[in-house]
Amino acid sequence: MDLAFREFVGDNICAIDLTPMPGIDDLLQPTESIKEAQELAAEAWGADHSFFLINGSTSGNQCMMMTAVNPGDKIAVPRNSHKSMLGGLVMSGAEPVYMQPEVDEELRMDHCVTPETVARTLQQHPDVTAVYLVSPTYYGVAADLASIETLAHGAGKLLLVDEAWGPHFHFHPSLPLSATRAGADLCINSTHKMLSAFSQCAMLHEKGGRVRLDRLASVLKMFLSTSPNLPMIASLDVARKQMATEGEALLSRTIDLARETRARLNDIPGIYCFGEELRGRKGVFALDPTKITVTVRGLGYTGYEASEILRRRHNIQVELADLFNVVALFTIGTTRDAAERLVHAFSEMARDDRDLDMFAPSGILEQRLRRGNFRLPAVPPMRMRPREAFLAATEFVKFRESAGRICAETLTPYPPGIPVIAPGEEITGEIVDYLRLELKAGVRIQGPYHDDLRLVRVVKE
């Protein structure tokens, strides 16, 4: 290894970067320390079995789908799932039955799917094999998992939960109910997001014995590297130890700091950080207090601009920015000093002399919102499964002339972060008009190959 790099990262990390061998164990066929570490993780998270992942919850979503559904099976999925869910659909060949999450028109963001939506979906599509949920959302809003578990299992369906943002839930009574406690058959946690494992580290938990373990084991063998990085695996074990032994105390400190900071931010004119008052709104069953969504439109900044200012002027990197908000994560590693800097940064921003034109009644954003254009266009007809569209021959055509074509990419405006169209769906005139207006208003569209969406990838005719 390059000596300067080795000096920088330290000898120990290199000393434990070993290949699978007896005494060290093999992630794909664990019989020794990794087996024990995974058993301890299952005990800590209340699962029957836990598996370490080294390619994030992205691979977790792919593995869940590949385990639970077969080509042609139907699976109920929220429309606002992370893109790795679509990867799972492409790989498994399953057919999505989309569930619309609740859109909060005041905060202009998406919340969770409600039990009512799941019940309706199961009634309209009794042939789905599984219900897949995302909880919590990017903004820290959690779904009513217990009610949805009763509905899914009552109807004989599997319940899969993308709990990428909630690996800490299981370890503190003031946090939302964890997916394992709610009885999900499979769930995933990005242990690297809210806990202390290295980047890319995640876990997949199984509970209840409804999924085939032999299938899951084969899927993991297919998806995980045969050369897993041992420091990453060790960091997963240590993150588990930290939570199992001092999780509640560490999280209590984090929750207190986040609550105090949220209150201080809310005292700054022009700023709003939602909190417990949101509970009970449609799609908001519970809230993760460690995520602070700062709505900055009252300052005359977009979330993107605020995020840039925080980074450049204050050396603060936020987790997410959208048109109206930035999201700050408070984790067990967040210091009081960092919280102070965040409050100071927003206080300064509030003193900036901004003209509020963009959000003024004549501004394009307000016009768009008042005209009700924030309402998402109808979900377009699915003409092909995501897998078929992904694998089909494709071409680029002008977006404004693309109505009637089958889309081969996902187009997701932020906010609210819900795909307007997914691979295999027909581009409608309504969608073309909606997205062109969004682009004009400065909204970022995620997913297309061409960011400016002048061209869109469609299935060749």
Write out 260-324 in H/E/C secondary structure.
Answer: HHHHHHHCCCCCEECCHHHCCCCCCCEECCCEEEEECHHHCCCHHHHHHHHHHHHCCCCCEECCC
Contact status: 235 vs ligand PLP (CB under 6 A):
no
Of residues 29-58, which lie at the interface with ligand PLP (CB under 6 A)? Answer: 56-58
- Output the CA angle 447-453-455, nearest 5 degrees: 110
Contact status: 134 vs ligand PLP (CB under 6 A):
yes
Residue 165 beta carbon to ligand PLP: minimum distance, rounded to whole angstroms:
6
The gap between the terminal CA atoms of the chain, to the nearest Å, is 51
Q: Helix or strand or coil: residue 68?
A: helix
- Output the CA angle 382-215-136, nearest 5 degrees: 60
- Residues in the chain, overall count: 461
Which of 47, 64, 143, 202 forms a contact with ligand PLP (CB under 6 A)? 202
Of residues 176-195, which lie at the interface with ligand PLP (CB under 6 A)? Answer: 190
Residue 119 beta carbon to ligand PLP: minimum distance, rounded to whole angstroms:
23
Strands 325-329 and 412-414, how do they pair?
A: unpaired
Residue 332 beta carbon to ligand PLP: minimum distance, rounded to whole angstroms:
18
> Residue count at the site for ligand PLP (CB under 6 A)?
12
**What is the distance between the alpha carbons of residues 397 and 458, in angstroms, rounded to a whole number?**
7
Nearest residue to the partner ligand PLP, using Cβ: 56
- Give the pair of three-digit tokens for residue 255: 């929750």
Task: Please identify, using beta-carbon distances, which residue of 190 and 293 lies nearer to ligand PLP.
Answer: 190
Task: Please identify, using beta-carbon distances, which residue of 84 and 394 lies nearer to ligand PLP.
Answer: 84
Residue 202 beta carbon to ligand PLP: minimum distance, rounded to whole angstroms:
5
Binding mask 144-173 for ligand PLP (x = CB under 6 A): ------------------x-x---------
- Give the pair of three-digit tokens for residue 292: 């602070």
Longest dimension (CA), the chain: 70
Task: Please identify, using beta-carbon distances, which residue of 83 and 341 lies nearer to ligand PLP.
Answer: 83
**What is the distance between the alpha carbons of residues 184 and 122, in angstroms, rounded to a whole number?**
17
Task: Please identify, using beta-carbon distances, which residue of 262 and 291 lies nearer to ligand PLP.
Answer: 291
Paired strand residues for 98: 77
Residue entry with tokens 């682009």: 439
Residue type for 83, please? K
Task: Please identify, using beta-carbon distances, which residue of 205 and 297 lies nearer to ligand PLP.
Answer: 205
Task: Please identify, using beta-carbon distances, which residue of 161 and 421 lies nearer to ligand PLP.
Answer: 161
Of residues 50-109, which lie at the interface with ligand PLP (CB under 6 A)? Answer: 56-58, 61, 82, 84
Task: Please identify, using beta-carbon distances, which residue of 107 and 134 lies nearer to ligand PLP.
Answer: 134
Binding site residues, ligand PLP, CB under 6 A: 56-58, 61, 82, 84, 134, 138, 162, 164, 190, 202
